[in-house]
Every structure is written in C-alpha cells, then in structure tokens.
Amino acid sequence: MDIGIPKEIKVHEYRVGATPYSVREFVARGHRVVVEHDAGAAIGFGDEDYRAAGAEVVGEAAEVYARAELVVKIKEPQPDECRLLRPGQILFAYLHLAADPGQARLLMASGCSAIAYETVTGAGGSLPLLAPMSEVAGRMAIQAGATCLELAHGGAGLLLGGVPGVAAAKVAILGGGVVGVNAARMAVGLGARVSVIDRDIGRLRRIDETFGNRVRTQLAAAAAIERLVTDADLVIGAVLIPGAATPRLVPREWLTRMRRGSVLVDVAIDQGGCFETSRPTTHAEPTYVVDGVVHYCVTNMPGAVARTSTFALDNATLPYALALADKGKARALAEDAGLAAGLNVDAGRITCAPVAEALGFS
C-alpha cells in the first residue's frame, strides 16, 4: 500500500503522523511511504532520517495526498487538506467531528474513509489512541493553569502549591478519566488542594485508592459542580463522551462568583468544550478573559510538547496503521471491531452514531 505522511499545518502543530522508526516497519512489510519535506523537522526528524528508513521525501503536500492510499497524520485536516482527499482514500487521524460540522461536510464531500483516533476502542471500552494524548493533555493542563495563575498572564498571582504559612491553590477537576487522573497527579505533585468530580462512582473509588486523602472526590451533581467551580482557583475541564459533543457543565453566570484571576483550562475544547464561555484558541494566542476569569482553550495542547507527544502517539497508532496497510480497510475493520468503531466518515456518509447525532445527521 502507498502510505502518505504530510506535514501538519495547524497553528503551532509540530507533531508528525509517523516517526522514521514506524516508517521502517511499513517498508519492511513491503509498503511504500511518501513523506512531505520537513514533516518531522521541528522535533528532530530530518528528511535524511526518513530516507534512511526507506521513505521517499517529496516537496509538497499535494503530491503526498495524490499518491497515498492511506494518509496518516495527527490533527484534523484543515479545509485545504480536505480538498486534497479523494474517494477510496483512507484518512487516519484525530478528527473531533462533533464540534466541527464544516470539516464533516468537507470529508463527506471528498468521498474518503476517515478513521478517527478518538473513537477507536479497545478492551473494556477503552480509547487506546486517545489515551496517550489525554495523558499528555492532563499533565499539561496543570502546567498551563499554573502559568495562567501568574499575574503576568492575567491570573490572581497565586503559586499553585503555596509555601509554608500560605495556603496552596484550590484545583477542581471535572472528570475522572485519563485526563482527570493525570491532571490530579500533577496538581498533587505540586502541592495543590485537589478535588475531582465524576458521575462514575467506580472511577472515584479508583482515584481514592490511588491518591488517598491527597485528592477529594465528589459524585457529580449540578450543585456539587457549582460549589467546586465557584470556590476553585483553577478548574480543569476533563469531560469526555466518546465521539459526541461535550456537555456544557459550567454556565457563564457562575463566573461572576469566582475569584478574579481564577483560571479555566478546557481540555475538552476539541469536542466543543465544557464551559459555556469556551471558544477554541491556539498556542499563538492561548488565553482570553471573561468576567475576570482567564480561559485557556487550546485545541492541540500536546502539540506544545511535540516530540514527547509524537513518540507516545506513534507507539499506540502503529499497530492499527499496519493492520490497515497489510489487510486493506475492509478486512482490517471486519477483523477488529474496535478499529471499526473509529470509522467516522465513509463514502459520503457519517458512520459514527454519536457524531451523527451531534451534527444533526442521524
């Protein structure tokens, strides 16, 4: 199969869809790999590294898309990239279509088969291709939030962990999944006072077993969420419903009761965000202020630590990409129901029920 690795063009996105080590695996199985010039340069993978692994390096994205049967990338294709896709071609990437009807329409119009990392499922309903970036984003959320709490970044001038004689900041984490647990781990490590709220009592038990009394757990209810949010210095939005739009858990009216200079970090922004006042931002302009509360809503947070993120994601995606290349789409999806769950768009149709419902296509 012909496999294409284009350079990412989203603002401040430096990850790459496959490392030279993965390219070597594709080539060893008889596949042909075309990589766009400088696709991995920002994170230390030069064109010579890809050539040494057996890939052909070309100068333009259009050639990559024209030649590839399987396109492997990181972030959702931008409009110009969507227009390069064609019927019968396989796109393997993060898509987050529930919050992006424009992209959905372009993918449908292209006729391609688009498989979304974020809805591929594993044992027990796990999300094996979302988990690595959720781990990164959860940890980064605390770093970003701690920075935003500094006066120079619009915050209240708080040190997350405090110092002897001065109380640590209060961190409220909405959601006890992979993002939430990793955010809690970082916040606890920095000495913050941490609370996690989730609607799944089983998750809360696991968090309690992991962190003990270093993290307070709370079963989700509107009153409990309101109390935690309005009392917090830093709120992490870590809510996820696979494939679907994120519920808006925090209405704007609550912001007026938060302390001036408090911070909201919406890790769920890819799926629409869980704060009413959330809107997508970029690494170039990551924050804005509403009612005195700093909002950090970057849609590709792991892109800021692109080398770590690329390796983490590459480890997870390679087996699935190899299956698609070795077997072709039809057989690979037929033999792996979890991979089949990743199919979001096929031959002009939305095929993922939560996405279709969110977009009003059901």
Query: Is 75 marked as binding a ligand?
Result: yes
Can you say how many angstroms the Cα of residue 362 is from the centroid of all Cα atoms in its chain? Answer: 25
Burial group, residue 165, by CB count within 10 angstroms (0-12, 13-18, 19+): exposed
Other Cβ atoms less than 10 A from the Cβ of 166: the count is: 9
- The amino acid at residue 74 is I
Query: Is 239 marked as binding a ligand?
Result: yes
Tokens of 195: 């609370």
CB-based contacts of 144: which residues, under 8 Å, 6+ apart?
265, 286, 296, 298, 301
Is 283 an active-site residue?
no
Tell me how far apart the alpha carbons of residues 78 and 87 are, in angstroms, rounded to a whole number: 18
Active-site residue (options: 96, 233, 314, 336)? 96
- The amino acid at residue 277 is T
DSSP 168: P
Query: Is 300 marked as binding a ligand?
Result: yes
Query: Is 362 marked as binding a ligand?
Result: no
Query: Is 279 marked as binding a ligand?
Result: yes
Can you say how many angstroms the Cα of residue 24 is from the centroid of all Cα atoms in its chain? Answer: 26
CB-based contacts of 252: which residues, under 8 Å, 6+ apart?
276, 277, 290, 291
Is 270 an active-site residue?
yes
Phi, psi of 292 (to 5 degrees): 80, 0
Query: Is 331 marked as binding a ligand?
Result: no
Q: Between the CA of residue 34 and those of 11, 65, 68, 69, what are the distances in Å?
A: 23, 9, 7, 11
Tell me how far apart the alpha carbons of residues 62 and 66 are, in angstroms, rounded to a whole number: 6
DSSP 76: P
Instruction: Give CA torsion, residues 115, 117, 122, 125, to 10 deg.
Output: -100
C-alpha angle 209-210-213 in degrees, rounded to nearest 5: 75
Per the document, the length of the chain is: 362
Active-site residue (options: 49, 266, 270, 346)? 270
Query: Is 298 marked as binding a ligand?
Result: yes
Query: Is 270 marked as binding a ligand?
Result: yes
Query: Is 3 marked as binding a ligand?
Result: no
Tokens of 100: 């992006």
Query: Is 198 marked as binding a ligand?
Result: yes
Query: Is 268 marked as binding a ligand?
Result: yes
Query: Is 269 marked as binding a ligand?
Result: yes
Query: Is 326 marked as binding a ligand?
Result: no
Binding annotation: 15, 75, 134, 198, 203, 239-240, 267-270, 279, 298-301
Binding annotation for NAD(+): 134, 198, 203, 239-240, 267-270, 279, 298-301
Q: Which residues are catalytic?
A: 96, 270
Binding annotation for substrate: 15, 75
